[in-house]
Amino acid sequence: MEDTLIREGDNLDITKERRNATFRVKKLAAFIHGGEEIVRRRKEIYDAVEREPRLKNSVPIEFLAREERHEEQARRAVAMTDVATDIIDGSDMFGEGIYYQSLIMGRDLHSLSLHYSMVLPAIQNQADDEQLDEWLGPIISRSLISTYAQTELGHGTNLSKLETTATYDPKTQEFILHSPTITATKWWPGALGKSSNYAIVMAQLYTNGKWHGPHPFFVQLRDAETHMPLKGVTVGDIGPKLGINGSDNGFLRFNNFRIPRKTMFMKNAKVLPDGTYVPPKHAKLGFGAMVFVRSIMIKDQSMQLGSAITIAVRYSAIRRQGEIVPNSGEVQILDYQTQQLRLFPQISRTLAFLFAAYEVKDLYLRVTTQLQEGNTELLPELHGLSSGLKSVVSWETAQGIEQCRLACGGHGYSQASAFPEIYSYAVGGCTYEGENIVMLLQVARQAFLGLVKIVSSIRAGTAKLSLLTSYIAEKQPKTRSKFTCVENVSAEDLIADFEYAAREQIFYAYDLLKKNETLYSTPEEAWNKTGIELCKASRLHVKAFLVRNYFNYVSKCNDSEIRPILDQLGKLYALDGISGGGVWFTRRGYYSDDQMATVRQGIYSLLEKIRPNAVAIVDAFDFSDRELQSVLGRRDGNVYENLLKWAQQNPMNRSEISTAYIKHLKPMMTEGKSKL
């Protein structure tokens, strides 16, 4: 990161904002990203990407039609991976990998997305030694392209009802892959339509007449030379989507397609040559690739919200509209209190999500090490943390991006703002890797909380709780919240408030479930009738985690220049949650009406405090113009002249007269004239 982001020729308003900041951006950037060394590496990676001619992004992606976009993204993906080893440390998918990719690919998926984000980790963690030897080389050398084909037309969430079958034939030592119905067609896998010639296929395993549930297989789909689909395989692209249109998400059908026995991943479950099935140590080890993406996507989502808020804050600093005091000149829209309330909580959220991403990364790495030693103890905790964070973070990220867009008025609606690309990319995260509601129900069902199981054991005094769940066993305070005013409130008090709300809802949902179990004939029906309250419990639990984790992370900062900023943002995050959470905090009079009014006053005072530093804070996220790809969010703040330039490079403006005019409008007008 440069010493200063101020340069000659910059917009005067944005320069003034930077000059008036009370802290050095470099310091905050170092804290946010985990140290000066990481910020220095980011700069090194950025410079290397900028220097590399093959990584030049000359075509503005938003002007391209679908097929052109797919082709351009394939070009970039190949160039990106051609030079990757010279630029990044490939072992760090959570950090350098995400950053490097975002510099080149923007907000899109591409022909190699699934190859790296799901197939590579699945092979590393689920293939036996022999398979690893055979598959890892071609994956890394890119002599094959692969994807992860699990979801079907008829089933995405409910994996136990996938219809694709893999039936073992001991005579030939092969599996027969088959799609027995239309709804068995694989549907959605990224890069399946046209790019991949291999896929991890999830299919129901049958051996010696017995069913063993869904298992992963590594299957060749297309000829290595001609790239034509193999006999028995039907494959294609599913068509344009809300976003990620660089990716050829595809469909796939099998017609009694035979594959060798050793194409089934055999590190965990095994099928022996005679068809004997050897079960895995943990039934869900085969779902590891999903857990990996759920874990890495938290950082990706926080960076999407971070981009959106950087764009919105910078634009709000240069946009002047209306007067606060009559006849004293138009103000920067960032001066409106309402604008600040729309925007500043998104800054806090970005940080809360990013710090949570660091935590889930640590847990993922610990679990991976344990699994290598055959220990599955922490797997449920990781499943719960990654599922819960995935749901809350992707939902609030999507809502936050949309707020940022709306806060930029008309220009926010233009593709020049980048909001449509950011939103349509990020919101996919609410659905892929497990629909959000379903994932919240997983948190409630088992997950790292095992909420429902825990409640009964807590009441029995036998609960074995992890660090993440221990607060649930604490007694609810009889008094009200300790909150008196924003100046005096401590991190511990705010954490206690969120834990109160979560605990209250967890016990409430539990009691309701128990009551429903007496009203309905099966536990499953009772569970369904409690679904809304269970999801609320999971959400509050995750929010309590986010608040606790934010303050824990920030407690490592002793720098008097930036600590006050981090504290203000943390308090804003918590108070905005309390104010918006209303009923969860006022139950049993925990927060009184007066306290709630003081919370709102506290928010207003925080907005005022954050206002002078807002531009510098988003500068500390360290996004380059290359990453933001937004005319509104330019570092230099020179928005208007560049909006005009952007519109002028629009291919529709290449000629003065459009074909639409020639083919349709002109004949209509000519006919109109003849009727006069």
Residues labelled catalytic:
433
H or E stretch covering 618: helix 614-619
Say whether residue 148 binds ligand FAD (CB under 6 A).
yes
Site string for ligand LFZZZEXQ, 421-450 (x = CB under 6 A): -----------xxx---x---x--xxx---
Q: Taking Cα atoms as reference points, which of 639, 591, 365, 384 lies closest to residue 482?
A: 591
CA dist., res. 670 & res. 598, Å (int): 67
Name 146's Cβ contacts closer than 8 Å, sequence gap at least 6: 114, 115, 119, 139, 196, 197, 198, 199, 200, 218
Name 285's Cβ contacts closer than 8 Å, sequence gap at least 6: 126, 268, 269, 371, 376, 379
Beta strands in 531-576 (DSSP E): none
Question: Nearest distance from residue 190's CB to ligand FAD, in Å?
Answer: 4
Question: Nearest distance from residue 148's CB to ligand FAD, in Å?
Answer: 5
Window 252 to 311, contacts with ligand LFZZZEXQ (CB under 6 A)? 284, 287, 290-291, 293, 296-297, 300
Quickly count helices (H) and strands (E) in the chain. Answer: 26, 11
Phi, psi of 237 (to 5 degrees): -90, 145
Window 152 to 181, contacts with ligand LFZZZEXQ (CB under 6 A)? 156-160
Site string for ligand FAD, 160-199 (x = CB under 6 A): ----------------------------xxx---------
Say whether residue 359 binds ligand LFZZZEXQ (CB under 6 A).
no
Question: Nearest distance from residue 471's CB to ligand LFZZZEXQ, in Å?
Answer: 21
Site string for ligand FAD, 439-478 (x = CB under 6 A): --x-------------------------------------
CA dist., res. 223 & res. 213, Å (int): 29
CB 335 within 8 Å of CB 324? yes
Q: CA angle 635-640-645, nearest 5°?
A: 95
Distances from the Cα of 553 to the Cαs of 41, 119, 125, 384, 564, in angstroms?
A: 22, 32, 30, 21, 14
- Closer CB to ligand FAD, residue 335 or residue 435? 435
CB 607 within 8 Å of CB 341? yes
**Residue 117 touches which of ligand FAD, ligand LFZZZEXQ, none (Cβ within 5-8 Å per kind):** ligand LFZZZEXQ
Say whether residue 250 binds ligand FAD (CB under 6 A).
no
* Residue 28 burial (10 A CB sphere; 0-12, 13-18, 19+): buried
- Closer CB to ligand FAD, residue 190 or residue 602? 190
* Residue 9 burial (10 A CB sphere; 0-12, 13-18, 19+): exposed
Name 223's Cβ contacts closer than 8 Å, sequence gap at least 6: 197, 229, 230
- Closer CB to ligand FAD, residue 10 or residue 396? 396
CA dist., res. 539 & res. 443, Å (int): 9
3-state secondary structure of 371: helix
Q: Is 90 annotated as a binding residue?
A: no
3-state secondary structure of 619: helix
Q: Which stretch binds ligand FAD (CB under 6 A): 20-28, 153-161, 557-565, 569-577?
A: 153-161
Window 96 to 125, contacts with ligand FAD (CB under 6 A)? 114
**Residue 369 touches which of ligand FAD, ligand LFZZZEXQ, none (Cβ within 5-8 Å per kind):** none
Say whether residue 437 binds ligand FAD (CB under 6 A).
yes
**Residue 476 touches which of ligand FAD, ligand LFZZZEXQ, none (Cβ within 5-8 Å per kind):** none
User: Binding residues for ligand LFZZZEXQ, how many (CB under 6 A)?
Assistant: 36
Phi, psi of 116 (to 5 degrees): -90, -40
Name 327's Cβ contacts closer than 8 Å, sequence gap at least 6: none
Q: Taking Cα atoms as reference points, which of 416, 413, 415, 419 lies closest to residue 397?
A: 419
Residue nearest to ligand FAD (CB): 156
Question: Nearest distance from residue 435's CB to ligand FAD, in Å?
Answer: 4
- Closer CB to ligand FAD, residue 149 or residue 486? 149
Does residue 307 come out as left (phi exceeding 0), alpha (psi in the -120 to 50 range) or beta?
Answer: alpha
Site string for ligand LFZZZEXQ, 366-395 (x = CB under 6 A): -------------xx--x------------
Site string for ligand FAD, 406-435 (x = CB under 6 A): ----------------------x--xx-xx
Q: Is 450 annotated as a binding residue?
A: no
Say whether residue 212 binds ligand LFZZZEXQ (CB under 6 A).
no
Find the helix packing angle between 66-87 and 98-105, rounded to 10°: 140
- Closer CB to ligand FAD, residue 291 or residue 486? 291
- Positions at the binding site for FAD: 151, 190
Residues in contact with ligand FAD by CB under 6 A are: 114, 148-151, 155-157, 188-190, 244, 249, 428, 431-432, 434-435, 437-438, 441
Residues in contact with ligand LFZZZEXQ by CB under 6 A are: 93, 97-98, 101, 109, 113, 116-117, 148, 150-151, 156-160, 190, 284, 287, 290-291, 293, 296-297, 300, 379-380, 383, 432-434, 438, 442, 445-447
- Positions at the binding site: 151, 190
